[in-house]
Structure 1
Amino acid sequence: TEQPGMGTAVGGVVGGAMGVAGGATMGVAAASLLIPGVGPVIAAGIIGAALLGAGGAAAGATAGTALEDAVAPGLPHDELYVYEDALRQGRTVVIAVAEDEPQEEAARNVLAQAGAESIDAAREDWWIGLRDAEAEEYTGQGKDFSSEEPLYRKGFESALHPHARGKSYDERAEFLREQYGEDCASDAFKCGYDRGQNYHNALGEKYKS
């Protein structure tokens, strides 16, 4: 739940971040939106349209083909599930687009000074929330989760990539090899991939309109 006055505070932070991130296009396209059941979101141009469009994060889970085609190059596809999870929790998502490294660093500093959580920290929090259940499931099959967790998690997260959602391992085998190399051939990766698909499908059922 956002604290009172958070919208104003976010507006100020975003204004500062946009100022240093540069680009009139970014400034003009930016908008603050309040989505029932999701929370306040700062969206900009094509990124906002992709995240908030029908079947996207606002719906809770299923980004689909429209999202993978629409997302701007600066927003990695393999991180979309982290943004979606934050939106489902009613958290505020701020995206600043920088034209070069100095602008990127300046934007990061503005956001960090305002107490923004990094994408890496958000990803870790997301996994911590799932880890115990996944460990129980994996060890229940007589496997060693403690040593195989990195590959298992990689497989789980790969299933949430827009190009893999709703697809079996065999259907996306070529794509997975291109993205993850030999890691995707391991049993731990495959098991994680299947669980990731189950997770995505469960979210789709939970948040479907």
Structure 2
Amino acid sequence: MKMRFLAILAAAVCAFGGCGALDRETEEEVREELKNAAAQAGSVLEEAKEKASEKLAEIDWAEMLLVPDSDSEKKNLKVLCEGTDGQWTEIEDMEEFRKQADVEAWEKTDAIPADMQEAAHFSIQQKGTIHLGEEDTDRYYEIAEMTLYADQMVSLTILGDITQYLDVVLPQGSFTANYLVDEETAEYLRSLSE
């Protein structure tokens, strides 16, 4: 019953979601309906939320985003880095970025200490879906943000259209992963913002 409810809820979110497909009024209606459904579900929803949060915590978001699937084309991503001057610069060579970042070697950790100093900020963007009848606009949507901290720690948060409406039923923390990276990777990421 719990998993069936979660599956129905996920299907509804996916059906209503998309890259900005809903107008503001419809989006508010969807959010209100999800809140009402959550209130009616009571303890069933609480148990489903707990299970879903546990499963989401197992996901390696860095690998999922930045490591290409072996059986398919590379994900159509671009990464921008915020420089010390506040300007955003696109990483020109994504292959080199993937190689140097070496996300498969990152180790998940529980949390970034609150007093940890930030060293570099990144925006991970994915090319928008082209729908039937549309032309390729080369439009990208920010899907994640990544922050490098002192002591070789990285925080990666999934944003926007991917988590749209899910914040009604799942804590936003479910879409954040924290990592320890080696000194070489940290130095490479830090150098991109200089």
TM-score, normalized by length of structure 2? 0.28
Q: Higher helix fraction: Structure 1 or Structure 2?
A: 1
Higher relative contact order by CA 8 Å / sep ≥ 6: 1 or 2? 2
TM-score of the aligned structures, taking structure 1 as reference length: 0.27
